Structure 1
Amino acid sequence: MVRTDRFQAGLVYSSMTNTDFQTPDQSARQVTETLSASTASVYGSHKTAWTLGILGLVPFVLMAVIFAYAGRSFIAYPMLVLAFSGYSATILAFLGGIRWGIGMVSRAHRRRVLILSVLPSLAGWILLFVPSPWIFAGFAAAFALQGAWDILVARRRELPAWFGRLRLVLTGVVVLCQIVAFAATY
């Protein structure tokens, strides 16, 4: 392939790039290498998302264990309720932010996704005003609804399948932790 460019002085010249001299086998190999690199990049982000998601469960699990063993008799019970509900609201807002980002780049249903993506943040904020133990029941319901939405969208192939599996696991653990906190403080 010949490329023609103009110098600032108005002279015209022709130049050829290295890809102009490649055989079809070399071009195919280059495409394969590019695809392999992008697949590795996707796999790397998939692995990173799983790692960060599992690490994000640590505060939920630790606080649920404290609730289960100490309940209302824990000396720092009010602080534990505040920490657990604050972290829950933060993560719920983060999940809404993920959906906001998806809505920004999506061509289908953009307006609806953007509108719905603010609901987790609002729900988390409103739930902060609910007394315990009902706050935990509310967060369990909010996380279950958000998880169901994410899983449904992944099953419709609007999001990667691994994201749906990730959300299923994370949502299950978070909802279980909320139920433990509810039961321990009821």
Structure 2
Amino acid sequence: MFALIQRCCFPTPFKLQKFAGPRLLLHGKNKTTWSFLNLRLQRDVYLLSRSSSLNPASVYASKLQAFHTSLPFFKKKTPKEYETRGPGVLQRSMTSLKDSPKPALYLSLTGLIPFVSVPLLMAIQGTYYPELAFAQVTYGAATVSFLGGMRWGFALPENSPAKPDWLNLANSTVPPLLAWQALIFKDITLGAIMLVMALGIALHYDISLLPTYPRWFKVLRVVGTVLMALSLLATAALKAIIEE
């Protein structure tokens, strides 16, 4: 009867039954104790055999998987990753500058001559000319006013992405006001510094607030603003150096 209950309720592998049988025959005096231990051992082995987490094959496979896993920064980059990298910022800017229309490019570069020629002439002759410095500041004020008025021409057409609202139209009046303030100053140095500030504000408007401008125009604006600002600061520096 016990053997029948054991087979029905606690199925065990054949090897375990064969191993546990002789121990019951050898220890006849403690038959009840060993039967209880045998039942506990069979139940524990059955539960362990049904568990998939302690399967030796799965544990070995997980160890192999963990052993063969490598971190991303140890992997070598293929040559294709280096080949797909785009050109640098300077190279892209020069390409965009070459794509600009010829009239816009030539007129912009020609308009920089009055800025660059004044400090260059003073540096060559070693003499400060107040008349030339004032002429440069006056030309700079006219240029700043022109750059501010471009926003009106960009925002007024009906199909323009910029609306003729208070923000666009009012911002375009800021550079001319600063240019007018630069002409009021009796000191050329203060006028040059005011014009540099006005050029920076106009550039910020064209680059950040109006992103729909073509790339060649933005590059042209950056190059022109840098040269104009350096020319004005060079004139102010030569004034301070030569007069001393």
Name the TM tier (shorter chain). Answer: 0.5 to 0.7
Question: Which of residues 136, 139, 150 is equivalent to 2:195?
Answer: 139
Report the alpha carbon displacement of residue 151 of structure 1 after superposing the two structures with TM: 2.0
Looking at structure 1, the residues matched to 228 and 150 of structure 2 have their Cα atoms a distance apart, in angstroms, of 17
Q: Secondary structure at the match of 2:213?
A: coil
Looking at structure 2, the residues matched to 69 and 138 of structure 1 have their Cα atoms a distance apart, in angstroms, of 26
| Partner of residue 50, structure 1 | 105
Say if 1:68 and 1:181, in contact at 8 Å, map to a contact too.
no
Alignment of 1:20-39 (within 5 A): none
Say if 1:63 and 1:84, in contact at 8 Å, map to a contact too.
yes
Does residue 116 (structure 1) correspond to residue 171 (structure 2)? The answer is: yes
TM-score, scaled to structure 2: 0.52
**Deviation per CA, 1:21-71, whole angstroms, max 9, x where unpaired?**
xxxxxxxxxxxxxxxxxxxxxx99722111100000011110121243456
Q: Secondary structure at the match of 1:148?
A: helix
User: 1:103–1:67: structure 2 CA closer, same or farther, 3 Å change rule?
Assistant: farther
Question: Which of residues 132, 140, 145 is equivalent to 1:88?
Answer: 140
Q: Secondary structure at the match of 1:168?
A: helix
Q: Which runs of 5+ in 2 are unaligned?
A: 1-97
Q: Secondary structure at the match of 1:134?
A: helix
Looking at structure 1, the residues matched to 195 and 102 of structure 2 have their Cα atoms a distance apart, in angstroms, of 27
Looking at structure 1, the residues matched to 141 and 102 of structure 2 have their Cα atoms a distance apart, in angstroms, of 25
Looking at structure 1, the residues matched to 122 and 194 of structure 2 have their Cα atoms a distance apart, in angstroms, of 17
Looking at structure 2, the residues matched to 70 and 129 of structure 1 have their Cα atoms a distance apart, in angstroms, of 28
Q: Which amino acid aligns with 1:164?
A: K
Question: Which of residues 151, 160, 176 is equivalent to 1:99?
Answer: 151
Question: Which of residues 146, 151, 160 is equivalent to 2:207?
Answer: 151
More strand as a share of residues: 1
Q: Which amino acid aligns with 1:160?
A: P
Q: How many residues align?
A: 139
Q: Secondary structure at the match of 1:86?
A: helix
Looking at structure 2, the residues matched to 68 and 144 of structure 1 have their Cα atoms a distance apart, in angstroms, of 25
Report the alpha carbon displacement of residue 78 of structure 1 after superposing the two structures with TM: 2.6
| Partner of residue 21, structure 1 | none
Deviating beyond 6 angstroms after TM superposition, the runs of 4 or more aligned structure 1 residues are none
Q: Could you say what the CA RMSD is over the residues aligned between the two structures, in angstroms?
A: 2.2
| Partner of residue 63, structure 1 | 118
Looking at structure 2, the residues matched to 68 and 140 of structure 1 have their Cα atoms a distance apart, in angstroms, of 20
Report the alpha carbon displacement of residue 174 of structure 1 after superposing the two structures with TM: 0.6
Looking at structure 2, the residues matched to 185 and 115 of structure 1 have their Cα atoms a distance apart, in angstroms, of 35
